Chain A
Amino acid sequence: MEPVFDSKAAPKEAVLTPMAPEIFRVEKYRKETHDTYTLELRPASGTAEHQFRAGQFNMLYKFGVGEAAISISGNPSLANPLIHTIRAVGAVTKAISKLKAGDTIGVRGPFGSCWPVQEAIGNDVLIIAGGIGLAPLRPVIYQVLAERRKYGKVFLLYGTRTPDDLLYRGELEKWRARFDMEVLATVDRASSDWHGNVGVVTTLLKKLVLDPDNTVAMVCGPEIMMRFVAMDLIKKDFGLDRIYVSMERNMKCGIGLCGHCQYGPTFICKDGPVYAYDRVIGLLARREI
């Protein structure tokens, strides 16, 4: 089945020299949670513009350590600064977490497909994020809210491990206070001073009245979470082509040359990371591809 929307329409021309990193300088460093931080970067040359679409990623290069694929978490309508939210988990992301304002970092990109934000105009938008998965979806929220009248209902469901792991708390509060957006958060466990929801993110779906034929769901988080969410959406009569997920696999070249990110018949760096669910459903739970 052909997808309703084509999330592959990425601005490829933005990548001029795909293998050579451009030098950026850290302008701001903000700690989001105990292991996650947001970097605001500006080109060291002061000139380059960094256009991207919601869902795309860059390869961030910590000199002397290596590269990691990191989604762009800023506002697509602002070319600068370039914003990334990063969870320190391994060699590269931990090294990047030690950068300070003024330090330099290499950036290649933007790469990959994007969320179907334009194509979803006229529909309800259901955004479902788990953990660091809110970072690649934040550009969607900015874009949808910038043209709020073009969309139907807008829902954001967000799940994390504990209340301390919620990203962008200030923005979550602001979004929740809006009358034109429904925001529900849940955590896996909490102490009794947390008055919000406790339970996995799928439990939030029960609280919504959805119109599956007129809703586009965009889901990002750990792969198991995305599978469970997709299963529940399918139970609610969502078509597979109305559910979009962002796949994460280790990357090297980021431009479809090395085969490192091959996922069945597709390369995630080129054809993904954002896919309509009908394109990846057969691949999702596979151990080796």
Chain B
Amino acid sequence: METLEPILAAHPFFTGMSPELLKLLVGCASNVKYDAGDFISREGQDASEFFIIRQGKVALELFSPTHGPITVETLEDGEVMGWSWLLPPYRSHFDARAVVLTRAIRFDGKCLRGKLEEDHHLGYEMLKRFVKIIVERLSATRLQLLDIYGTRV
């Protein structure tokens, strides 16, 4: 059976992480597949997981009663999805829907939190990586909020 360890080791998110730490993470990881249109998570629901998208495209959507689902971001091959698993109340802020057939590695949040609490070095390594992604997304969101193409800014 294909082990997930080499896949994780090759992924940019885990660059620089020691094989020992990766081994700890693999225990919380599994391969998943979603067909186009499948919801991976729903707003407000339990979000005790995060994903590394191997192939495909996922839309993060918010539902507006007047406009229906509005896509605010899409994520593709190699990108990381979900950080609500890190902090209570561990609930999703968006609907996540597979736009096309999507294959991903799913990490069980509860399992991960247990390991990160036990091994603070692993916790720090993971947090460093998530903070980088959160900062990048925050910066992109700020730009999006400015509505730069709308008026002269």
Q: Which positions in A face B, CB cutoff 8 Å?
A: 89, 130-132, 159-161, 165, 186, 188-192, 194-200, 202-203, 206-207, 221-225, 228
Contacts and interface: CB of A to CB of B under 8 A. Distances in A.
Contacts of B146: 224
A131 B143 contact: no
Given A159-B149, A197-B76, 17 more contacts: A130-B149, A188-B149, A189-B72, A189-B144, A191-B68, A191-B71, A192-B59, A192-B61, A196-B74, A198-B59, A198-B73, A199-B73, A199-B74, A199-B140, A199-B144, A200-B143, A207-B76
* Most chain A CB neighbours (cut-off 10 Å) among B59, B144, B148: B148
B103 to A, nearest CB: 17
Interface of B: 57, 59-61, 67-74, 76, 79, 97, 99-100, 139-140, 143-144, 146-150, 152-153
A165 B148 CA distance: 13
A221 B61 CA distance: 26
The dominant DSSP class at the A interface is mixed
B74 A198 contact: yes
B152 A222 contact: yes
A194 B69 CA distance: 11
The 10 nearest A-B residue pairs measured at CB: A131-B149, A192-B69, A222-B148, A161-B149, A198-B71, A200-B143, A198-B74, A190-B71, A200-B140, A197-B74
A222 B71 contact: no
A228 B148 CA distance: 12
A201 to B, nearest CB: 9
Contact of A161 (B60, B67, B150, B153): B150
Contacts of B70: 189-192
